[in-house]
Amino acid sequence: MATIKDIAKRAGVAPSVVSRALNHKYGVKKSTRKLILKIAEELDYYPNAAARSLVTRKGQTIGIFMADISQPYFSQIIKGMEFAANQMGYTLLFSNSFESLDHREVFKKMVESGRADGLIIVGSNNKDKNFIPFLIKREVPFVLVERNFSDPRVHCIWVDNVEGGYLATKYLIEKGHRRIGHISGNLDYQVSLERLEGYKRALAEYQIPFSEELVAAGKFLVQDGYLAMKELLNYKPQCTAVFVANDSMAYGALQALHESGIKVPDEIAVVGYDDLEFSTLTNPSLTTVRQPRYEMGLKSVETLINILQSKTDGSIMKMCLKPELIRRFSA
């Protein structure tokens, strides 16, 4: 059976260098690490399961990071991920509350321990970018979901949120509305800024002035939509329609309108975003913009596995998926 000393002798380095290389520790040149991994594979040297994963890149486990897996928005993304992983023989390892963690430390532990061969990171917080150069520098395979990151070395899959915001607002305008409110998501997020941009674009196209007082920001939760809708109701002249940046907040907005005795859509029309499973069950059922969430999950896993299995030609995946307006009875 081969030992670390055997590998060190063939590579012409000290055993400590071999140990660092096999465990993906710092202080080993890229060329030296590649040589050591190649020799270790030739000698069939695997000290344990984690090291075997690092040497062969066939641990067949993918780390998934997302903000809050309990939120219904993620359900279809996860289904798409699981289908692709099952079809290609991979296991998914989920990490919840991504945005409250020290990303670099978590990524380092997950990848360098051999628990994951690559990462999929779901989220678009613009204040949270430091982990990207960290992963690039360490040559960790990863795919971003929900974020269009301009770096040409980064694989990204996202939805055209500007188009989605535009479709929602244009629909309301074409229904005759001119005072259209917007309940945005957290404006630190790329998706929120893009949906707001789409809202503004539709207003401009129809020569409707943008009014800052008709925009209220939330954080994508039901209670945010409830409070934001209450805020918008305080402005006069009152808006006759509202585009809400996600369905969860739209549910809260509908509740606020119901409590205020305002009929939907007769007095105020409501359009959401996401097309969550519950959106057919609200009263009235929610007109919304459908995101291809299942496809986002599916494509992210397929893309990462192709990278891990060296089935790509080296090109970077930049995939922009298209939203679709779903007409129901709230607008």
CATH code of the domain in which 317 resides:
3.40.50.2300
Percent of the chain, pLDDT > 70?
89
In a shared domain, residues 169 and 113: no
In a shared domain, residues 280 and 299: no
329 in a structural domain: no
- What's the whole-number mean pLDDT along residues 57-70? 81
Q: Containing H/E element for 143?
A: strand 142-145
In a shared domain, residues 152 and 301: yes
In a shared domain, residues 151 and 174: no
Of 56, 82, 99, the domain-final residue? 56
Amino acid in position 188: D
pLDDT higher than 80, residue 7: yes
286 against 21, higher pLDDT: 286
Residue 133 pLDDT level (bands cut at 50, 70, 90): confident
327 in a structural domain: no
Residue 47 pLDDT level (bands cut at 50, 70, 90): low
Structural domain tally of the chain?
Answer: 3
In a shared domain, residues 147 and 49: no
Q: What's the CATH code of the domain at 30?
A: 1.10.260.40
**126-130, 168-172, 219-223: the lowest-pLDDT one:** 126-130
Smallest CA-to-CA distance from 115 within 52, 58, 50 is with 50
In a shared domain, residues 68 and 105: yes
- What's the whole-number mean pLDDT along residues 69-95? 92
260 in a structural domain: yes
In a shared domain, residues 48 and 143: no
328 in a structural domain: no
- What's the whole-number mean pLDDT along residues 287-300? 97
CA separation, residue 210 to residues 181, 213, 253, 274 (Å): 10, 9, 21, 24
In a shared domain, residues 171 and 140: no
pLDDT higher than 60, residue 100: no
pLDDT higher than 90, residue 198: yes
51 in a structural domain: yes
**143-152, 164-173, 238-247: the lowest-pLDDT one:** 143-152
In a shared domain, residues 154 and 187: no
In a shared domain, residues 300 and 151: yes
In a shared domain, residues 277 and 181: yes
pTM (2 d.p.): 0.80
**34-43, 149-158, 207-216, 237-246: the lowest-pLDDT one:** 34-43
74 against 57, higher pLDDT: 74
Residue 70 pLDDT level (bands cut at 50, 70, 90): confident
pLDDT higher than 90, residue 58: no
268 in a structural domain: yes
pLDDT higher than 90, residue 98: no
Rounded CA separation 150/308 (Å): 22
- What's the whole-number mean pLDDT along residues 77-81? 97
In a shared domain, residues 179 and 80: no
Q: Name the DSSP letter for residue 158.
A: E
Q: Whole domain around residue 36: which residue ranges? A: 4-56
Determine the pLDDT at residue 48.
Answer: 47
Determine the pLDDT at residue 50.
Answer: 44
Determine the pLDDT at residue 298.
Answer: 97
330 in a structural domain: no
CA separation, residue 282 to residues 94, 249, 290, 322 (Å): 30, 13, 16, 25
CA separation, residue 74 to residues 94, 98, 145, 221, 304 (Å): 12, 13, 11, 13, 19
Residue 57 pLDDT level (bands cut at 50, 70, 90): very low
DSSP 256-292: HHHHTT--TTTT-EEEEEE--GGGGTSSSPPEEEEP-
